[in-house]
Amino acid sequence: MIRITEYAGRDVAVYGLGRTGLSAALALKAGGARVHAWDDNEETRAKAEAAGIALSDINKRDWQTFAALVLSPGIPYKFPQPHRLVRMAEMTGVPVIGDMELFARAVQALPERGRPKVVGITGTNGKSTTTTLIGHILKEAGRDVRVGGNIGTGVLDLAALHSNAIYVLELSSYQLDLVKSLHCNVAVMLNLSPDHLDRHGGMDGYQAAKMRIFQNQTPQDLAVIGFDDIYTQSMAIGLSASGPQRVTQISSTYTLGKGVSAVEGRLYDNLNGKAEFIGKLEDCPALQGRHNFQNAAAAYATCRALGLDPATIMAGLKSFPGLAHRMENIGAIDGVRFVNDSKATNAQAAEQALRAFKNIYWIAGGVAKAEGIMPLAPLFSHVSKAYLFGQAEEAFTATLQGKVPVQACGTLDRAVDQAFRDAKAAGDTSPVVLLSPACASFDQFKDYEHRGDVFRSLVKAMMSAPLKESA
């Protein structure tokens, strides 16, 4: 745990006691703050109380006494409208911050020589894979690396700060909205496409939130920026012209005059203006597909900036085991392959999986994003049949009608069962039952991880069923 001592002896309100909120409350308590923690969900409150956090209904407290409101990133800060407690904080002059800001201030409070390195990764798609990949390469190279933030372990639950450590942090736009002091020695912006627009008041607000990852960088720091979409191209050009930090461009589409390219799976280091071939990404089983080529290029540029040599980085790319719920190969039954891509919560993320396979028996659905699945139309030819569930079932059926055979299944278990039956009976070459929902999960599941876990369990049960029958 990273103890937060800034508020020792003072009252701090913590609202939202999920993973990040609970870790913030515990870190503040450990640092001597008087924590007033609350969540509107009774079950979540009970879990926090069991973890040692005393509950205090901050709706009924005197807000003049609070030194800060620590807000869970899942709670609306500005859009579509500020949460009532955010408005209360603003009316009483109480600063609104998040767990990442607490971490940033704790780092800045250390003497400069005693500060750890901080690597921040953001973007619309690929940030979890890139975060995990960078952590894996650094760990394999013997570095003291801690991986967390918006993925896995909350930032304040990571091991205590010290100067030799490297914190590799996935940063969501919600978290970045709540930071002011975060200083990334290496800041990675992978890509940008419309997402979470309701929470940021439109694309301009979403882009502005993402840009906050660069806000405290100095000439000694590095910005690694994708060059494969118009938004990040603009960022790369703008920061190169006027930003204090150094900029490295990365691409899986273009052979860059200077930067790191991974075009058609061939990784090139052109950081010094002279292209050096590093290796073939086809030798990296968990990094297939153009989206993963961009992730590999970003990881390579980051690890080079942290002092690793090309051969060490390439070895780490080859040994990377992949990310759960992101094009995760579960196994095969009677020649039918099952792939868990539950992390594809929008059309842009699902595009990567649909592009990677043919003869797809596609399971999709949940809570649809604004763009739906129409952007995936050029890849519908890869889909043998679609199996839909959740709130998006009706809308997705309308989009697919006349283009792809479609079946409304209602629930994930029915979709898995029917997709397997059809894939097995069709006689296609290398059929794939693919869970790539292109939707948020909150209608039927806690989160995308829960959805992916259920899919994996359903497939594993099917795999073991023949053994049970013959026993």
What pLDDT digit, counting tens, does each position of 184-240 carry? 999 999 999 988 888 999 999 999 999 999 999 999 999 999 999 999 999 999 999
pLDDT of residue 236: 96
Checking if the pLDDT of 35 tops 70, the result is yes
* Residue 262 backbone dihedrals phi, psi, to 5 degrees: -135, 60
229-260 burial, b if ≥16 CB within 10 A, otherwise e? bebbbebbeebbeebebbbbbbbbbeebeebb
- Side-chain-side CA neighbours of residue 137 (13 Å): 31
pLDDT of residue 352: 86
pLDDT of residue 230: 96
| Averaged pLDDT, 96-100 | 98
Query: Radius of gyration over alpha carbons of the chain, in Å?
Result: 23
Residues 6+ apart with CB under 8 A from 161: 2, 106, 107, 110, 115, 116
- Side-chain-side CA neighbours of residue 168 (13 Å): 23
Q: Could you tell me the CA-to-CA distances from 395 to 141, 343, 406 in Å, in that order? A: 48, 20, 12
DSSP, res 1:
-
* Among 202, 252, 257, 218, residue whose Cα is nearest residue 232: 252
Checking if the pLDDT of 370 tops 70, the result is yes
| Averaged pLDDT, 23-50 | 96
User: Tell me: the pLDDT tens digits for 407-466?
Assistant: 999 999 999 999 999 999 998 999 999 999 999 999 999 999 999 999 999 999 999 875
Do residues 363 and 415 make contact, with C-beta atoms less than 8 angstroms apart? yes
Checking if the pLDDT of 14 tops 70, the result is yes
| Averaged pLDDT, 248-270 | 96
Q: DSSP letters of 183-197?
A: --SEEEE----S-SH
pLDDT of residue 466: 57
pTM of the predicted structure, to 2 decimals:
0.84
DSSP, res 364:
E
Q: Which residue has the tokens 């901050």?
A: 58
Checking if the pLDDT of 373 tops 80, the result is yes
pLDDT of residue 289: 82
Share of the chain above pLDDT 70, in %: 99
User: Tell me: the pLDDT tens digits for 133-154?
Assistant: 999 999 999 999 999 999 989 9
* Confidence tier at 350 by pLDDT (50, 70, 90): very high
User: Tell me: the pLDDT tens digits for 268-296?
Assistant: 999 998 999 999 999 998 898 888 999 99
Q: Which residue has the tokens 């283009």?
A: 403
Look at strands 336-340 and 360-365 and give their pairing: unpaired
d(CA 143, CA 52): 33
Q: Which residue has the tokens 């372990």?
A: 153
* Among 57, 287, 27, 40, residue whose Cα is nearest residue 160: 27
